Structure 1
Amino acid sequence: MFKVIEELPLKALYSRDITIKLEILNALYREYNGYTIESLSHKINVSKKTIYKYIKELNELSINSSENTAFVLDSDSNNYTFLGNKIEFLELRYRILESCDAIKLLLELVHASSINFLNFCAKYYISESTLKNIIRKINYIFKFIDIRLSVKKNEIFLNGNEVIIRYCFTSILWRIYNGLKFPFELMDKEIIQKLKGDLFKNLPLSISEGRKNLFLYLLLVNATRAHNNKLSSSLFPNFYKELTGKSDILVKLAATLHNYFKLSTVELEFNLILLYTFPEFYQFEDKLFYTLNILEKKAPCTFYNIISFLIFIKKKHPTWDINSENGRNLLSHIISSYISVFLFKHAYFNLQDLNLLKFSYDNFPTLLPTIQKNIVRSTSNTQEGIIKSLTFRLTQAYLVEFSPMDFEPEINIMLITDSPPFVEKGIILKLNSILATKYNIKISTEISNLNQTDLIISTGLYVNLYSESTSQIPKVFIFPQIEERDKFEILEACKIIHEKKINLLDILN
């Protein structure tokens, strides 16, 4: 059975104050018309006095940072509403998170090899027992990736694989700041923007600005950590020299990085390897099949696993063509997934705060287990963390081109109406809009297909729907315009059918 845990659960680090502030901010941002104090108090499960207190504090924080009030009271509705847009929401959110003592400790560890325990307590006015509790919380969220804080001779150290540590720090910083702020001491924002221009002048890729900033975060975390934390090439894939070999673009990129950061050869090579974790990188210099050839020679087991996954896809989608633009795009995602696992091992989470594992498992329960089963069959690696990481990354690769519904049990729906063809077509379109994002459905209007039907949806009693052959088939009667009640009954019927089919699949497997 595929086990799902939250990806890098930073919420475990937050104090009660910070948690409540974030809940108030999220609630008032998502509800355009806002909430009364009473309804917000009920929603967050705290007293009205507490809500007033935190709204006041959030407004003060907003005024201090942007000179604008975040929340106002509408005199007509008596609702508090959030005045800003998404960017202002994210800015206020990261300012709340910056007040979290655990986040302060992590930010300092990005820039140092160790932190003095007593000095940190004095600097942020916290007790030694509070800091010990913070360290316990951080170790809890890191335990899944074998990173651990320890205290020796009054110094706090971060122990573990340095490559994974840097990946983890990049993810934490991106989840906090979303690229709106570059919290790095080694250079200011103007120089960072110049670096961005110089880097992507040498990388003629079709890549979004957000993804460029994400790559910049990786580079800046690496450059920051490089000053105090040495990186060993033993942590790289055994074929890394071939990946970073002579290439005009890579040579120019390495020169740019060295000019800005004065990095060692090992650090420069690491930053070049990171490019191979971005699918967009495979667009130029035929890096796609060049990398595949390297894997065939230097990592034959991985090459075999990639071929096995391609065969798995081809069986599911016989018309899929690897030589098409879509085919090459999917292959670039598959290869970058394997390079990511070579580097980041069992750190299966995304850099962004997406929590795709839980979302996929909740909404498409057979997707992850099916892909995991294919991986287990084709790989010799039995480490649970590596299997989970591969499953997570290859599932994302698969979804680049194909529907997450592909492995969900099909629900066959028979639609019976007395409507003219154009109205019936409209009913089918609406049924698809209601169901297609939740279930793998197939709608038929041919009565000859009745024996394959899982659900009958009808606008009336036009045939004997309670005959011996149809008596066991669930039925929902609707209006042609599909009212809210109709929608609810359709969704409930499909939910029951889907659960029964999933349970049957579990028994068969």
Structure 2
Amino acid sequence: MKIGLDIFDQTLAKEWEIFLILRHEDRFFTTEELSATTNLTISQVLKIVTKLINDLEDFGTDTMEVVFSKGKGARFVAKELQTNPRKFLIFLVEETLGFKLLKSILNEDYVSTSNFSYENFVSDSTVRRQLNKFRDNLHKFDLEITRSDALLSGNEKQARLFLNMMLWRIYAGEGWPFEAVNELHIDYLATNILKESGLSLTPIQKRQLMFFLAIGIIRRRNNHYVEFEESWGELTDNNAAYTYFKDHIRPFTSFIDDYPGEVALLFFLLIIQSENLEVIQMLYSNFEENKKNNSFLYQATQAFYDNVSQDVKTIPEDLKDVILLSSFSYHLFTHLFKNFSTDISGYDYSVILDTVLSKPVLPNLKKNLLSMIRSLYDETKLDLFLEEDYLVTKYALILTLIKAQTYFEPVIKIKISTDLPLLINLRLQERIYNLFGSSYRLEFLNATDPDHGDILLTNISLPRETKDYEKVNIVYINRNLTVRNIIILSNVLYDTSKQKTTKEISSSD
């Protein structure tokens, strides 16, 4: 499950959605377009666009604005090439009651409903509604907010991840949302933990680590500690990488001996974070230790690797380590955390299963990946394979890496038949594949092939009423492929894929 800005304020979520739509293209968007995209009425769109314009004025930026024309609609205007909207998002979120309440829950300075409502000039019932919204969302993560004093309780590692995801999604390292924790001290801790553990992180990853450390300090101050779970022993016992890490960060942590769950979680999070292949030392050494010990985590990773290489596509030798280490990291995440569909930064990768265009592509990828995940669970009985929402997008990324994301899609045969030179036709084929090859399983036929395929691309209007062309979609193109040609071909590819998928399903029933 993923959590969005609507957990703080529904209007804010829609305002930010419209802002992102306007930023996507340098043009006017009509109110009708925005209404259709956001599922809002036109009057609601007008109200939110007006609020967006006013909020940008209150924010006081000289680098960007939203303009509105009665006849044209709304448009985002960037006054500088490198406009950064992050500070504007922070400004919007920090103004909401929901975020103020989250900060109060994090710092555990919530006294009572009446006191909080008085300080924020709202009614008691408004505060209770926001608390109940939090409760409804957190229940899925085995977390609760207590009735009397609004304490965040439940599985502590789940609480840590939730807090980090929410704050990182908003701030992304910009600013410091932890007033009760000295930023310079956390920077000192992060620097020395990385130095002593022999781990190199990018500046962004180091900033993420600082957020983890700050949240951990605040939670421990309020007597919330991560428990060392029984299954973790198999991942840390006889693990030289873990022993090295624990021994070398000892001078900078006060909880190693009394609270082993704290240091284990930090170790695991750094492994997951090391998924970035530029800073992979800790992930690699830990993978080797798990392989040596034949841990359940290694077994899960090997089972997935074997499934892909045997049933989908042979994995190239130069990508073997990348895929093993990445999937090992994914499986560690799903072993540790439950019901999260996003990564540790709160980002959602379901776009790999969808499209930036107007129609969905890869319709069979998600269905077949879910089937693969369920088969892996049946084979191994490991609960980590129950986290389908998380794994399905991560596995899709892996298939994309080995160019196998279209494996489950029906083959669409395309023939290019024009009066243009061969090299121009080959260039057309290359352009079409670059545009659509990652979304559809394309096969290009020779122009002289008696099989006309599923789609015939041509610039010549010859008579084609014979039986041979009955089931062929003929798409007329210009000598130079135009935007209109691409849009028409996109629609034809989508319809063809859909028809073939439906036919395959019918024949298999």
Assess same fold via TM > 0.5: yes
- Map of 2:340 onto structure 1: 347
Counterparts of 1:384 and 1:239 in 2: how far apart (Å)? 18
1:164 Cα offset (Å): 1.1
TM-score (normalised: structure 1):
0.82
1:398 Cα offset (Å): 4.1
Structure 2 letter corresponding to 1:454: D
1:225 Cα offset (Å): 1.5
**5 Å matches for 1:170-189?**
170-189=164-183
Counterparts of 1:291 and 1:283 in 2: how far apart (Å)? 14
Counterparts of 2:209 and 2:424 in 1: how far apart (Å)? 50
Identity %: 16
Counterparts of 1:490 and 1:27 in 2: how far apart (Å)? 25
Tell me, which stretches of 5 or more residues in structure 2 are unaligned? 355-359
Aligned to 1:184, the other structure's residue is in SS state coil
Structure 2 letter corresponding to 1:335: F
Counterparts of 1:307 and 1:13 in 2: how far apart (Å)? 41
Q: 1:90 to 1:267 in 2, by over 3 A?
A: same
- Map of 1:136 onto structure 2: 132
Aligned to 2:444, the other structure's residue is in SS state strand
Q: Which moved more, 1:249-258 or 1:433-442?
A: 249-258
Superposed CA RMSD in Å reads 3.7
Counterparts of 2:490 and 2:163 in 1: how far apart (Å)? 42
Tell me, which stretches of 5 or more residues in structure 1 are unaligned? 1-5
Q: 1:409 to 1:224 in 2, by over 3 A?
A: farther
Structure 2 letter corresponding to 1:371: L
Counterparts of 2:364 and 2:32 in 1: how far apart (Å)? 41
1:336 Cα offset (Å): 1.1
- Map of 2:484 onto structure 1: 485
2:239–2:286 contact (8 Å) kept in structure 1:
no
Q: 1:399 to 1:140 in 2, by over 3 A?
A: farther
1:237 Cα offset (Å): 2.6
Aligned to 2:2, the other structure's residue is in SS state coil
Counterparts of 1:505 and 1:181 in 2: how far apart (Å)? 53
- Map of 1:126 onto structure 2: 122
Structure 1 letter corresponding to 2:339: H
Match of 2:210 among 211, 216, 221: 216
Query: Does residue 1:408 correspond to 2:409, yes or no?
Result: yes
1:347 Cα offset (Å): 2.0
Query: Does residue 1:108 correspond to 2:104, yes or no?
Result: yes
1:22 Cα offset (Å): 2.7
Counterparts of 1:53 and 1:283 in 2: how far apart (Å)? 48
Aligned to 1:231, the other structure's residue is in SS state coil
1:457–1:476 contact (8 Å) kept in structure 2:
yes
1:476–1:490 contact (8 Å) kept in structure 2:
yes
Query: Does residue 1:327 correspond to 2:313, yes or no?
Result: no
Please give the per-residue CA displacement for 1:225-244, whole angstroms capped at 9, x wherever unaligned.
Answer: 22221221137634243276
Q: 1:243 to 1:158 in 2, by over 3 A?
A: farther
Query: Does residue 1:438 correspond to 2:408, yes or no?
Result: no
Q: Which moved more, 1:493-502 or 1:42-51?
A: 42-51
Query: Does residue 1:93 correspond to 2:92, yes or no?
Result: no
Counterparts of 2:143 and 2:455 in 1: how far apart (Å)? 50
TM-score (normalised: structure 2):
0.82
Counterparts of 2:328 and 2:300 in 1: how far apart (Å)? 10
Q: 1:87 to 1:243 in 2, by over 3 A?
A: farther
Higher relative contact order (CA closer than 8 Å, sequence separation 6+): 1
Match of 2:150 among 128, 132, 156: 156
Q: 1:141 to 1:90 in 2, by over 3 A?
A: same
Counterparts of 2:252 and 2:83 in 1: how far apart (Å)? 30
1:94 Cα offset (Å): 1.2
Aligned to 2:181, the other structure's residue is in SS state coil
- Map of 2:264 onto structure 1: 269
Aligned to 1:450, the other structure's residue is in SS state coil
Counterparts of 1:74 and 1:388 in 2: how far apart (Å)? 39
Structure 2 letter corresponding to 1:129: S
- Map of 1:231 onto structure 2: 226
Aligned to 1:406, the other structure's residue is in SS state coil
Q: 1:400 to 1:288 in 2, by over 3 A?
A: farther
Counterparts of 2:395 and 2:342 in 1: how far apart (Å)? 12
